[in-house]
Amino acid sequence: MRLALALCGAVVAASLVHASPLPDLGANLELGAADVSASLSIGRRNNDSPKQGGGVVAFYPNWAMYSRSNISGIDLTGIDTLVWAFWTVLKNGTIVSTDEFADFQAGGNGTIALLNAAKQKYGFKTMLSIGGWSASVNFSAVAVNPVARKTLAEQCVKACQDYGFDGVDLDWEYPGGGGKELNYFSLGDPKFYIELLKDLRAAFGSKYLISIDVSAANKRYDNKLWAYAEIVDWINIMAFDYVGSLQPISGHNSPLYEDKAGDPGNAGFVEQAVYGYLDSGVPAEKLTLLTPFYGKSWNVTSGDNNGLYQIVDVYDADQFYNNLRKNGWLNTSTTAGAGFKKTFWESTQVPTLLRQNSNSSYTFVTYDDPSTIKAKAQLAKSKGFGGVGMWEITQDYQGELLGAMVGGFKN
């Protein structure tokens, strides 16, 4: 698993088809609709629950301290919620850090201590994120098991108490399947997720926050999103990875609007996810639109159409925005560096880069630039969203994307 995609909203159809190595527990334990609504009332929040979502939500992966920056080296001005990624959950509901050294030992006290120092300095809230692309294998087993759910809930309370988090973010990719190969799943997952969230809320009361991360494809959740929204404080929509690295033609990683010229891969677009979620019964103020601070590059065989929708020879690399800037593929936030041609696609509001390597090889890059990020933040704001955010903050370059996001959402 490439770490850049540890949290990803892949809507790649092929990934929906794979077998669960576990028997379908959910099928035997299905709750009737009546059971679900009865149990929901127990999980409701007090009236003092926050109504405004997460504001500007930044994910920080604990492993970024090795290759990019620890949390103390980043300007976090404008951020309202900092999400610490990731911890994982065992089958019995126990939660554990995915990197004990980074979290608890680096520099003597670990980088969660640096997070708490940053929290003091900037005044944002902090969330502990559990799961992600690489650590969602046990969620299904926990969700169907009342004892494991209770353990998870109790341990989340303890983690908040012990390490100073204001709440927990669950990044189950995905209830009902479609995540990493060999993840356990059952068709009952979307329903049992309600039980898991309810137990977490019962343990948290209104003292701690709950958020969840969801795929851009709202159809995954079997019409249960409204029920999640009743329990959680907010829902982060992972509106990226519309194209996967292994796909046969190049495309946009996170196009804002529909390509009016036509997308042969029919990959979808961010505005579609925005309306999909509003239509699914989630109040706008509980929605956060997540954007990518990374792009992707492929080597394609033709430079036609500026490399867009061309036949892929090979996936080249993940392209963090800060790498594009540091490598000189971009020499300002808006201009291509030597050897590259930039195209800004008005219809989808995203840029691409193209470099000719030989007569039959071109490098094509899809990414979000400050104007894309600003347009997405403005769309979220205009729809009354409670937040906008990114995966992930260390991929920014000198605050160029964060600045555009804060400007678009708050001004």
| Site for ligand NAG, rule CB under 6 A | 65, 70, 72-73, 88, 90-92, 94, 106-109, 111, 114, 135, 137-138, 151, 299, 314, 316, 331-332, 335, 337-338, 357-359, 361, 363
Which residue, judged by CB position, is nearest to ligand NAG in the bound state? Answer: 107
List, in sequence order, every residue forming a beta bridge with 215; answer none if it has no partner: 238
Residue 18 beta carbon to ligand NAG: minimum distance, rounded to whole angstroms: 17
Query: 322 or 363: whose CB is closer to ligand NAG?
Result: 363
Concatenate the DSSP letters of all residues of 280-335 into one string: TT--GGGEEEEEESEEEEEEES--GGGGTTPBEEEEEEEEEHHHHHHTTSBSSSSS
**Residue 361 or residue 371: which is nearer to ligand NAG going by CB?**
361
Are residues 196 and 152 in contact, defined by beta-carbon separation less than 8 angstroms? yes
Cβ-based neighbour number of residue 22 at 10 Å: 13
- Choice between 164 and 407, CB closer to ligand NAG: 164
Minimum CB–partner distance for residue 284 and ligand NAG (Å): 34
* Residue 21 C-beta: closest distance to ligand NAG, Å: 12
> Which residue, chain included where needed, has tokens 């930044």?
58
Q: Which is nearer to ligand NAG, 94 or 306 (CB)?
A: 94
First-to-last CA distance in the chain? Answer: 38
Output the smallest distance, CB 122 to ligand NAG, in A. Answer: 16
User: Whose Cβ is closer to ligand NAG: residue 59's or residue 86's?
Assistant: 86
Query: Nearer Cβ to ligand NAG, position 203 or 227?
Result: 203
- Using the minimum distance from each CB to ligand NAG, give the nearer residue, 88 or 211: 88
- For the chain, the C-alpha Rg in angstroms (whole number) is 21
**Closer of 49 and 333 to ligand NAG (Cβ):** 333
- Please give the Cα distance from 122 to 147 (Å, whole number): 38
Q: How far is the CB of 313 from ligand NAG (least distance, A)?
A: 8
Identity of the residue, 4 or 229, whose beta carbon is nearer to ligand NAG in the bound complex: 4
The tokens of 33 are what?
């609709």
* Distances 231 to 129, 138, 239, 243 between C-alpha atoms, Å: 17, 22, 22, 31
| Least distance from ligand NAG to the Cβ atom of residue 374, Å | 21
In angstroms, what is the minimal distance from the CB of 165 to ligand NAG? Answer: 17
Cβ 267 to ligand NAG shortest distance, Å: 22
Q: Which amino acid is at 214?
A: V
Q: Which residue has the tokens 């039959």?
A: 360
Tell me the backbone φ, ψ of residue 123, rounded to 5 degrees.
Answer: 80, 15
Specify the DSSP element, H or E, that contains 238. strand 234-238
Q: Say whether 358 sits in a helix, a strand or coil.
A: strand
What is the enclosing helix (H) or strand (E) of 378?
Answer: helix 370-382
32-65 burial code (b ≥16 CB/10 A, e <16): eeeebeeebeebebeeeebeebbbbbbbbbbbbb
* Least distance to ligand NAG, CB of residue 283, Å: 32
∠ Cα 242 66 135 (to 5°):
50
